[in-house]
Structure 1
Amino acid sequence: MLRCITISLLLTVLAISSVSPAANSASLAINEFMASNSSSVQDPQGQYDDWIEIHNFGFSPINVGGMYLTDDLSFPTKWQIPNNNPAATAIIRGRYLLIWADDDGGDTGLHANFKLNADGEEIGLFDKDGQTLIDSVIYPRQTTDISYGRYPDAGEDWRLFTTPSPAAQNEGGYLGEVADTKFSHNRGFYDTPFHVTIATETEGAVIYYTLDGSEPYSASGRAPGGMVYNAPVLINKTTYLRAVAVKPGWIPSNVDTHTYIFLDDVIEQPKYPPGFPTGGWGHAGPDYQMDPVVVSAYSGTIKDDMKSIPTLSLVMDMDDWFGSKGIYIHKSQDGTERVVSMEYIDPNNGSQFQINCAISMQGGVTGGGTSLNRWKADKLSMRPRFKTNTDDGIPTGGPTKLNYKPFADSPVESFDTLVLDARLGNTWPYGGGTTDHGTRPWISGRPIYQPDVAQYTRDQFVADIQNALGGFSHHGRHVHLYLNGLYWGLYNLHERPDHRFAASYFGGEADDYDCLKHNSNQIINGSNATFNEMLNIVESGLASDQQYQSIQQYLDVDDFISYVIPHYYVGDWDWGHKNWYATRNAGDPEGLWRFHHWDGEHLMENLYENSTGRDNAGGPTRIHNRLMQNAEYRLLFADHVHRHFFNDGALTPGGAAALYQIRLDDVDRAVVGESARWGDNQIGRFAHIRYMRDPHWLLERDWLLGEYFPRRTTIVLDQFKSRGWYPNVDAPVFRINGSHQHGGPASVNDALSMTAAAGKIWYTLDSSDPRLKNPSTDSSTTTTLVAENAHKRVLVPVAAVSDNWKSTVGFNDAAWMQSVGSPGGIGYERSTGYQQFISLDLEDRMYGKNATCYIRIAFVFTGNTDEFNFMTLKIRYDDAFIAYLNGIEIARRNFNGTPARNSRASASHSDSVAVQFENIDVSAFLDNLGSGANLLAIHGLNASTTSSDLLISAELIAGKGSSPGVEGVSPTAIEYTGPITMNRSASVKARVLSGNTWSALNEAVYAVGPVAENLRITEIMYNPLSAEGVPPSDRGQDARDTEEFIELTNIGPGTINLNLVSFTNGIDFTFPNVELAAGEHIVAVQNRSIFESRYGGNINIAGQYSGKLNNAGER
């Protein structure tokens, strides 16, 4: 039976047209499919993937193995059904075969190499010849979790199935979907009355609506609870209008909700609003009223204050809020879900959305409900969950994800859940009493109550700090919340840092992640096995290097430090034993545990609060305290502290205050609405105070900005020092031309200087740590293979020289100049600085003539290379060199490309650095060291023929043990002896070594020269089409991608140095130390050999990048 079926949806009416070409003997039909599967049917791997059902409606079994399935009728052979397993592909008469369309061929079962497009496309089944069409369907846009299928099976009519039947007979179904309702006025804020019209594009549909929060029509078929819409609805006060369109035999539209807010109503919200219960909740009975005293005090601004931040409106049946099983008032219902409409309205930028979802109460140590004393605060937290059904199976009418970007500082745009956080402690409606707040100058003669210090910013601020320090915590923003049209107060809408959160930021599937909350026994997802293994290691002690290495197999240590520092800074005393999340990607063999801040309430209370003594078994404070037994961790922790507590870091007085100011700006005016709603809530309980923005919130704000932040950094740093967590040796300070400057732009030839109170400063300019981790305490044995004053043969070439000059054989250097004796250096000095290092002066031969010299140093080795485990080239150089051992290159600096007899350095080398030995590890070339005659050859290069100086002086050593040098100092480190001339961008890292004590690391990046001003991207090849005349389809996408390149040009008038210039979006590449002349081009390529084979070898190539450019475009 050969059929071509086209399905088109016009205004959600299902219209079917059928074409029947020549008949075919295969009695097979594409019988049902689902192109948007989010929670309906799982494949054998547990994933919700697209699927296609093939039905054998004939009288004999048919093996479809070898046939073809496609989502492109012009490409019939896109995927062949496997023909090697008849048991899996044979369909007996009247039965069905299910194929997953998920592009996951590696999975067990039948998985096609394509996915279905929910926006509409085509499906075709072709016979084994790859040409004969058996059946096809062209389908329109699909609805999530609703399948399309024939009814009856193999018939000509198609229906929608809200209960899909993969691999089974199709039953019932709907003729179509009723089009969504449309409202003439959008949700939002209004000042004057208006009429709303409601419409649907589906002919014959009836619209029902409600004004009390209840659903207008029940999908279960019981009598509708709403009114039939037959005339425009008058809106003259705050109203939450809900509507649905229904038609017999059709799937009803979803329930649409529009909340219209009249602020004149809101600010006069009464003590007992109509329709809301007059009892049953609250510490002293229900509290609904907007305090007239506060409203009057802010009469000139309060309506603007109510629109200063976005608004969130929650609407559902009143009984679901406050009825006999209402989730707001009955603790027995904590953790249970109800169906709710959630609307987001931002009056400042016009953005909005509405989504139907599930909602439950939020809070409590057990995770499902609120605190044991429910009415410690009358204002409670909630958690919307985006899913198609509640936990007890009630359809929500909504999707499985909220696709919206509410947090500007987060890249995440899709959410499974969010939290509406009322904040329990240190808020105006909190009735839990006092806590240790230290002192406040405006309070005397009574305790300081928690509402006294309300800010509504503290918890999110700690999350902000963790994110600013490089960790991962929940992002959030404040909103005004309405429940069924009543203003409910100021809430923090934020992420929940669970396994879904982790998958959003780190990749992978949410179910792959282990997730714990508060302790190792509260498993949110996955398992606690590896966490408990980690705790066992912690309890055994972490002082030794082996123990420290073991813990790093479980814990992301750098991320962990970014997590604990914020809690010590804010003095969180309600943390460690609870109030944390931890996640780990169990699907990644190298997955590590990360901690995420959660529920910070008691923090930034007492200026002198010291939380460093907390040591809670099973929690992050215990882990941290055991880690502090280890010297490597202590210094790593100190490095993080220095990064954030100094040099305008995030936790300097200015940095912390600026970060906090972001949250203050968010709620500065919004707290007026909170004050009117909840500021009088605790009158008569213990604080006979009506809390308001002025003066209460402002007083605490000013104390934090004027007292807490200016002093807290030093206080916490001293706490760290007193516990031995931070060294007493001060880190060095960087200056440019004598003035303090920690990184940033610098001009060519600026002087970088470093100062320290005591000890020696060691630094690097290549991003490496000047300190050697875990230096060996065993004495090393070393052999000098080439001494600095070794006999040398030297040539300044004036003509071509055989390439054998780098080798021990096939070359005679008898005619070359000789250098004998100390000091042993080769070069010249037209001013002062290098004379003490030079034995052979080359000024007459090089200055104004050639920037290249060749040096040959022959030596004999009679030992056994098996006795060595390292080899080090120690070299002083100005400006560049390439070193060879027996003809094999072992090291180079400041030169790119293929050298020639007259090559110049690609960058200069500062004189103050050039005179210091740079220790270069060349252990990888030990096998090139032979028994008997050997040759160290060096190609020395100057930056120009008119450079004022040149220096090349080298040693080659090998040995057993650790590389030689000052104990604990990296071989690449340089001792600071004076200012460093900046001639290229540099990543500077420095420490002070005083006795045996290292300071914390000071690090900064200096961008030298007008690189940003003069470097431009001038050409991009991001989607290569063909090469060598070969059509792209014959070569494959991977082959085409390797031809990508990016060209950059120096458009400025002078030479610039590209050192450390980086691509970070889309591709990863950091330019080496290379100079680009005015007007000169340079390219970064995806594959060098393929690029050169197509474009030739004369193009200036900086190197190969990792990653791929997006063919669809990117930034």
Structure 2
Amino acid sequence: HFVSGQAAAQLVPAPQSVLEQTGASLPQFWGAFQNQSLPAHYTLATNQLTTSELQSALRALPSLFILTDPTNLFSPATGIYLHPTERGQKWERPVTTLLLDARGQTNFQARCGLRLHGGMSRRPEESPKHSFRLSFRKIYGTPKLNAPLFGTDGPQQFDALILRAGGNDSWLTSDGPRRAHATYLRDEWMCRSMEALEHRSARGRYVHLFLNSLYWGIYNLCERPGAELLDTNDSECDILKGDETESGDRVAWEELFALANSGLDDAKRYEEVSRRLDVPQFMDFMVLNFYAGNSDWDRSANWYAIRPRTATGQFHFFVWDAEQILDQVQPGIPDDPDDESPLALFHKLARNKTFRAAFITRAVRVLSESCALSPNESAKRFRDLADALAPAMSLEAARWGSYRRDVHQFKTGPYEVYSVRTHWQPEVEKISSEFFSQRRDALLQNLHAAGFEQE
């Protein structure tokens, strides 16, 4: 059902009711691990913030409401939240979704399909806070969503949107040291940095998510990478997400790697690769990943390659799921023995003298003062994101900050109560002031050590 403007404004619950939510009528377990039921978690830690602080936090971000029959989410037999590892359209459920701005005005409203999204984070032991995909289809009444979600200069039409829960950059990851350094900002910083390099990237914006009337935490509402990033449609593209083929096939991809494996010191073969790959865009993609110190982007996951299915179509690479970045100032230039990864392709290209010269020239340029990856510009981009998210983070802390200590201790400790003041603010400050001030010079040294020299 659609919701009138007046009723939509009333969806935003009173702060006191958010503080007091219990989920009393809903299942008390969400899945199992090693034959042990995992406790559900619906409540907020009321000692984390006052009613007035909660009200300010609610107003700091837009609110996205997903309205559906509760059984679609929580039925023991068919609820998608109780079967998080199930995939495909069979596990998609009809919902109405509304995005309300901080003033309670409707940004968009649509009928669509809801399913869970992600890889490891689907497993209930890895995280109780799951990511979602909203799919706009004719069968639900909204073939495509038409809305200026990311401003008038951004995309206006969407087949799907992703609600990213934070994954490895959240207080819920099973990796204890990563929990303590979570910012919820890393992946979005990466996407915006690719745009700062003047390439299309999946756009995102932070929202408070409500499942029916239950507050579920802060999510990044973002584009699902697809053919629209190349201004075409999926039926005309090869869309590869790591080792998964989301559209088209892998014929052109395998041809690209067959050429790369044949030896690119030969000028003609390098020219053939250049016809199949947008080399300048790929260079910027690689510089950004090296600069950020990405440690989780092998052959299988966490990047996209998209190519128009035309005679002259070139592969373009897109950052995705970049949650394990901005950690070490000196990670070096990684190798990857696993074929058909971006890293493997880079090292094959680097055997060509023309590519090496062009790559280091491009790297020095984008790392120079006032350019996209300079210390000041990189830090400013990160601080701008942090400043926008900071007023809302106390709500995320109240909703999920105590989960690993009080509800489910898993894999590695320490198991703490995570807070904005003790954990989030110090990590944001450390990245802003320490990482970015040192990383450019460290990367240039890494490249020099790897044999990249300016002529």
Bin the TM-score by the shorter chain: over 0.9
The change in CA–CA distance for 1:184 and 1:533 in structure 2 (over 3 A counts) is closer
Aligned to 1:512: 236
Q: 1:680 corresponds to which letter in structure 2?
A: S
- For residues 5-58 of structure 1, the C-alpha deviation after alignment (integer angstroms, 9 at most, x for no partner) is xxxxxxxxxxxxxxxxxxxxxxxxxxxxxxxxxxxxxxxxxxxxxxxxxxxxxx
CA contact (8 A) 2:9 2:105 kept: no
5+ long unaligned stretches in structure 1: 1-179, 190-258, 365-369, 390-395, 435-448, 728-997, 999-1115
Of the three residues 305, 313, 326, the one matched with 2:79 is 326
Q: Name which of structure 1's ranges 642-651 and 476-485 shifts more when overlaid on structure 2.
A: 642-651
Aligned to 1:691: 418
Aligned to 2:109: 354
Q: 1:343 corresponds to which letter in structure 2?
A: L
5 Å-filtered alignment, 1:854-933, equals none
Aligned to 1:142: none
CA contact (8 A) 2:379 2:433 kept: no
Determine the C-alpha separation between the residues in 2 that align with 1:542 and 1:184.
60
Following superposition, the deviation at residue 494 of structure 1 comes to 0.6
CA contact (8 A) 1:401 1:414 kept: yes
- For residues 105-164 of structure 1, the C-alpha deviation after alignment (integer angstroms, 9 at most, x for no partner) is xxxxxxxxxxxxxxxxxxxxxxxxxxxxxxxxxxxxxxxxxxxxxxxxxxxxxxxxxxxx
CA contact (8 A) 1:188 1:261 kept: no
Determine the C-alpha separation between the residues in 2 that align with 1:181 and 1:294.
35
5 Å-filtered alignment, 1:295-694, equals 295-296=49-50, 299-323=51-75, 324-331=77-84, 333-335=86-88, 336-348=91-103, 350-364=105-119, 371=121, 373-389=123-139, 396=140, 398-408=141-151, 410-430=153-173, 432-434=174-176, 449-498=177-226, 502=227, 504-519=228-243, 522-577=244-299, 578-586=301-309, 588-684=310-406, 685=409, 686-694=413-421
CA contact (8 A) 1:426 1:454 kept: yes
Determine the C-alpha separation between the residues in 2 that align with 1:413 and 1:380.
26
Find the structure with the greater CA-based Rg: 1
Aligned to 1:290: 44
5 Å-filtered alignment, 1:658-807, equals 658-684=380-406, 685=409, 686-727=413-454
The change in CA–CA distance for 1:692 and 1:182 in structure 2 (over 3 A counts) is closer
Following superposition, the deviation at residue 696 of structure 1 comes to 1.0
Determine the C-alpha separation between the residues in 2 that align with 1:302 and 1:280.
27
Over the residues paired in the alignment, what is the CA RMSD in angstroms? 2.0
CA contact (8 A) 2:84 2:124 kept: yes
Q: 1:559 corresponds to which letter in structure 2?
A: Q
Determine the C-alpha separation between the residues in 2 that align with 1:373 and 1:331.
7
Determine the C-alpha separation between the residues in 2 that align with 1:184 and 1:423.
31
Aligned to 1:838: none
CA contact (8 A) 1:339 1:357 kept: yes
The change in CA–CA distance for 1:621 and 1:287 in structure 2 (over 3 A counts) is same
Q: Name which of structure 1's ranges 668-677 and 613-622 shifts more when overlaid on structure 2.
A: 613-622
- For residues 856-890 of structure 1, the C-alpha deviation after alignment (integer angstroms, 9 at most, x for no partner) is xxxxxxxxxxxxxxxxxxxxxxxxxxxxxxxxxxx
Q: 1:325 corresponds to which letter in structure 2?
A: T
CA contact (8 A) 2:98 2:106 kept: no
Following superposition, the deviation at residue 531 of structure 1 comes to 0.7
Determine the C-alpha separation between the residues in 2 that align with 1:346 and 1:313.
11
- For residues 358-383 of structure 1, the C-alpha deviation after alignment (integer angstroms, 9 at most, x for no partner) is 1111011xxxxx54743211000010
The change in CA–CA distance for 1:286 and 1:702 in structure 2 (over 3 A counts) is same
The change in CA–CA distance for 1:424 and 1:611 in structure 2 (over 3 A counts) is farther
Determine the C-alpha separation between the residues in 2 that align with 1:698 and 1:584.
40
The change in CA–CA distance for 1:517 and 1:181 in structure 2 (over 3 A counts) is closer
Q: 1:495 corresponds to which letter in structure 2?
A: E
The change in CA–CA distance for 1:339 and 1:479 in structure 2 (over 3 A counts) is same
CA contact (8 A) 1:612 1:720 kept: no
Determine the C-alpha separation between the residues in 1 that align with 2:415 and 2:317.
40
Determine the C-alpha separation between the residues in 2 that align with 1:540 and 1:455.
43
Following superposition, the deviation at residue 181 of structure 1 comes to 7.3
Following superposition, the deviation at residue 593 of structure 1 comes to 0.7
CA contact (8 A) 2:237 2:307 kept: yes
CA contact (8 A) 1:470 1:562 kept: no
Q: In the comparison of the two structures, how many residue pairs are matched?
A: 442
The change in CA–CA distance for 1:284 and 1:683 in structure 2 (over 3 A counts) is farther
- For residues 905-935 of structure 1, the C-alpha deviation after alignment (integer angstroms, 9 at most, x for no partner) is xxxxxxxxxxxxxxxxxxxxxxxxxxxxxxx
Following superposition, the deviation at residue 688 of structure 1 comes to 3.2
Determine the C-alpha separation between the residues in 1 that align with 2:135 and 2:308.
22
Determine the C-alpha separation between the residues in 2 that align with 1:619 and 1:705.
30
The change in CA–CA distance for 1:267 and 1:628 in structure 2 (over 3 A counts) is same
Determine the C-alpha separation between the residues in 1 that align with 2:198 and 2:6.
44
Q: 1:268 corresponds to which letter in structure 2?
A: E
The change in CA–CA distance for 1:675 and 1:601 in structure 2 (over 3 A counts) is same
- For residues 575-628 of structure 1, the C-alpha deviation after alignment (integer angstroms, 9 at most, x for no partner) is 132211111111x32110111111112111222222433453111111111111
5+ long unaligned stretches in structure 2: none
Following superposition, the deviation at residue 281 of structure 1 comes to 4.0
- SS at 2:169's partner residue? coil
Aligned to 2:20: 268
- SS at 2:219's partner residue? strand
Kindly indicate whether structure 1 or structure 2 has the higher relative contact order, using CA contacts under 8 Å at least 6 residues apart: 2
The change in CA–CA distance for 1:342 and 1:387 in structure 2 (over 3 A counts) is same
Following superposition, the deviation at residue 550 of structure 1 comes to 1.1
CA contact (8 A) 2:93 2:114 kept: yes
CA contact (8 A) 1:309 1:348 kept: no
- SS at 2:323's partner residue? coil
CA contact (8 A) 1:576 1:615 kept: no
- SS at 1:343's partner residue? strand
- SS at 1:261's partner residue? coil
More helix by share: 2
The change in CA–CA distance for 1:183 and 1:707 in structure 2 (over 3 A counts) is closer
CA contact (8 A) 1:516 1:525 kept: yes
Identity across the alignment (%): 26
TM-score (norm 1): 0.39
Following superposition, the deviation at residue 433 of structure 1 comes to 2.4
The change in CA–CA distance for 1:295 and 1:526 in structure 2 (over 3 A counts) is same
The change in CA–CA distance for 1:726 and 1:456 in structure 2 (over 3 A counts) is farther
Following superposition, the deviation at residue 332 of structure 1 comes to 5.5
In the alignment, does 2:32 pair up with 1:279? no
CA contact (8 A) 2:146 2:158 kept: yes
The change in CA–CA distance for 1:678 and 1:726 in structure 2 (over 3 A counts) is farther
- For residues 678-723 of structure 1, the C-alpha deviation after alignment (integer angstroms, 9 at most, x for no partner) is 0001005233311111121001011111211111111111111111
Following superposition, the deviation at residue 300 of structure 1 comes to 4.1
